[in-house]
Every structure is written in C-alpha cells, then in structure tokens.
Amino acid sequence: MLKPHLRSMEPDPKVQRDYLIVGQGLAGSLMALNLLNRGKSVLVVDDGHKHAASKVAAGLINPITGRRHALSWRFLDCWSFLLGNYILWEKEFGKKFFHRMPLIRSFKNKEEQRLFEDKLHSGQYSGIEIEYPFEPAGLTGLKSKGACYRLQQSGYVDQRVFIQAARHRFLQEGNLVKATWKKSEFSQFEDGVQWRNYQAKRVLFSQGYLNGTNDFFRDLPFRNVKGEILDLNTHQRIDPPILNCGKWLLPLGAGRYYAGATYDLQNMDQEITPQARYDILQGVSELVDWDWVVEKQQAGVRPALHDFKPVMGRHPWHGELVIFNGLGSKGSLMAPLLAKELTEHLENGAALHPESDVDRFRTYL
C-alpha cells in the first residue's frame, strides 16, 4: 500500500481548485463539465494525446454486442439518461455530435442465430426495441440475404467533436493546462493534493490505458484491448443504417463510413497494421458489394477491466484520489450516466453501483 508523501506547506503562492482531473477523454471531459456546472473549480491536465482511445473511437452505441449477442451492461439506464444529456451539451456547445440511427445485425451462422433466439425468447432483451425477423429491402449492394434483426436504440457519438468543444470551453475559462502528467510533480497533503503550483481537495484520474503509469491504481486488473478502424469513402451515396455482422459499417454521410473493428490483446500500441486493414475490409466485403477507398487507418487502446465493467470511485485508503476508467468500447453509452453518478458520489455521498465501484478491487490496492 502506498503511503502519502507529506511535506510542509511552502510560502510561494498556490492556485486553489476543488478538483484536478487528469485526462481529457470522454470520461474526463464529462466529469469536468458536471463539476463545473455545480459551481466547483476544476483544472484539467491533458497533453492532447492524439491516439487516446476517445479520439480514435467510432463512438458506436449498440444494445446487443459480440458474437454471443450480449446485452450491454445497464443499457436501458444508460440509454435513457444519455438521450437528454447529450442534447443538453449539444445546445450548450452549439455542436452536433450525437447521431441516433438504427442498426441491422446479421448472423454469421445458424449457431449465432439460435443463441440470439434463445435469449430473445427467454426475455433477456426486455425493454430493447428489436424487430425480428427483419427483412431489409431497397438497400443497394447488401450481401446478407439471411435472417437478421434491427435495433432502434442505437447510433454513435462523434467523440472528436464533443471533446474538442469541451476543450475549447476549458481553455477559454482557464480550466485546462496542456501538459503531460508526471508523478514527480505530484504530492499529497493531509488535506489534499498538489500538482505543480495547483492545490486541490481531490484529484481524479481518467487516463485510459495509461492507467498503468499511475502508482495508486496501476495494480487494478486491467485487460486493455487495441483496436483499429478505417475511414472509408465510396461513390455509393445511399446511407444505410449501421450494418453489423462481426465487423461493422457506420455511415457518416456523403459516402463516408467508419469500418471496424479489430481486437488485439497482445500489442498495446498505436501502430496501424496491414493485417487489421485486411481483416476489416474482408469483413466489410461480407456486408456490402461496394468499391472502397481507404482514406485513413487509426489505432487506439481501449481501457477495460477483466470483468468488463468500468471502475470508478475513491481509493479505499486515500479518499482524495479518485478514478474513472475502464469504459472499453462502451464509452459513448456509459460515460454520461456514470459521470453523473460519480459526481453525486463525490459531492453528496451517493452510493455507486457495486459493479462499477472501485471498492470491488480493494484487495488489488
């Protein structure tokens, strides 16, 4: 267990804040906005890391995911909250970043279809708007002719637009420092923390896959996953719903699409690879019969825990240290509600959901 590094107060002037927030991805941005709207003073520390997972994520929101057609954790709670929350921020920033659109999911084989039907008939998708069986019509070039289902509670968040809009606000109001967080510049006191000449009551770490550099939370059981996506262009101007059959195709308008994604458990870097490009294009070729131009290929590392749940809350031994991380590929779905719950926890003492509370990993800390 790490012990606080105590030192006497120095006479030089310090800048007082209620919170320091390390990392300005989707989660860190929402936490800062929530706290600022409550009248709290906040300083965000972020170096603008171009390969942060939030900046290369497609931002997909999908209630049913994976080969086993699993219902996303707390989907209905998260979905009902984000509908109003994203609209609120769109109005505040004057930017459009939340796009609701249906998703058509095909089956790769009969076993997948049987598994889905078993879950559907047993009531595991209660509350989810599912059309099944669904017969797509009028979609030029669609290859899948077998059974599929359509989801209505789906879409995507353009996280780049949101993060940039939030960053602009933070900079304008003096709430962001462009800097790389270094532990050598950080100290703890009996009544708070200090980074450089900033003192605060609490520090919130939202560092994504860089959590491994954090002395206080690095022993948490993270199981990070590298992912790559493609930015595609085509002469095909019929923008369909989101298509998914192992790999997915996300329409952005005017012939632009995101396509993905890969899941690499071995290489935690931001290097793009020919194999990922091949795998994605192969998957897309099974969805539609279109010609493509690859405009860009991007890679990022998704922060995830071994139990596939997020992690948030105060350190069991150091209450001034807070974490909000591990949203994996579900950040667009979960971040708004979880940021609200974490804010309520920090400011009002509200209990966290036990499956996301960092206290479940007490033995690791």
Domain containing residue 352: CATH number: 3.50.50.60
Lowest mean pLDDT among 42-56, 92-106, 298-312: 42-56
Q: Is residue 81 part of a domain?
A: no
Q: Is 356 found in the same domain as 256?
A: no
Residue 197 has pLDDT above 50, yes or no: yes
Q: Is 314 found in the same domain as 294?
A: no
The CA distance from 317 to 239, in Å, is 52
Q: How much is the pLDDT for 358?
A: 98
What is the overall mean pLDDT for the chain? 93
Q: Is 237 found in the same domain as 144?
A: yes
Q: Are 340 and 85 in contact (CB under 8 A)?
A: yes
Q: Is 230 found in the same domain as 352?
A: no
Residue with tokens 């209505």: 152
Q: Which domain holds residue 268?
A: 103-151+225-302
Q: Is 340 found in the same domain as 322?
A: yes
Secondary structure (DSSP) of 349-364? -PPPPTTTBGGGGGGG
Residue 3 has pLDDT above 50, yes or no: no
Kindly indicate the confidence band of residue 1, based on its pLDDT and cuts at 50, 70 and 90. Answer: very low
Q: Is 331 found in the same domain as 287?
A: no
Q: Is residue 24 part of a domain?
A: yes
Q: How much is the pLDDT for 269?
A: 92
- Backbone torsions φ then ψ of 72, nearest 5 degrees: -60, 140
Residue 11 has pLDDT above 50, yes or no: no
Strands 198-205 and 321-325: parallel
From the list 169, 179, 162, 193, the residue with the least C-alpha distance to 37 is: 169
Domains held by the chain: number: 2
Q: How much is the pLDDT for 12?
A: 53
Q: Is 323 found in the same domain as 216?
A: yes
Residue 237 has which token pair? 């101007």
The domain boundary, picked from 251, 278, 302, lies at 302
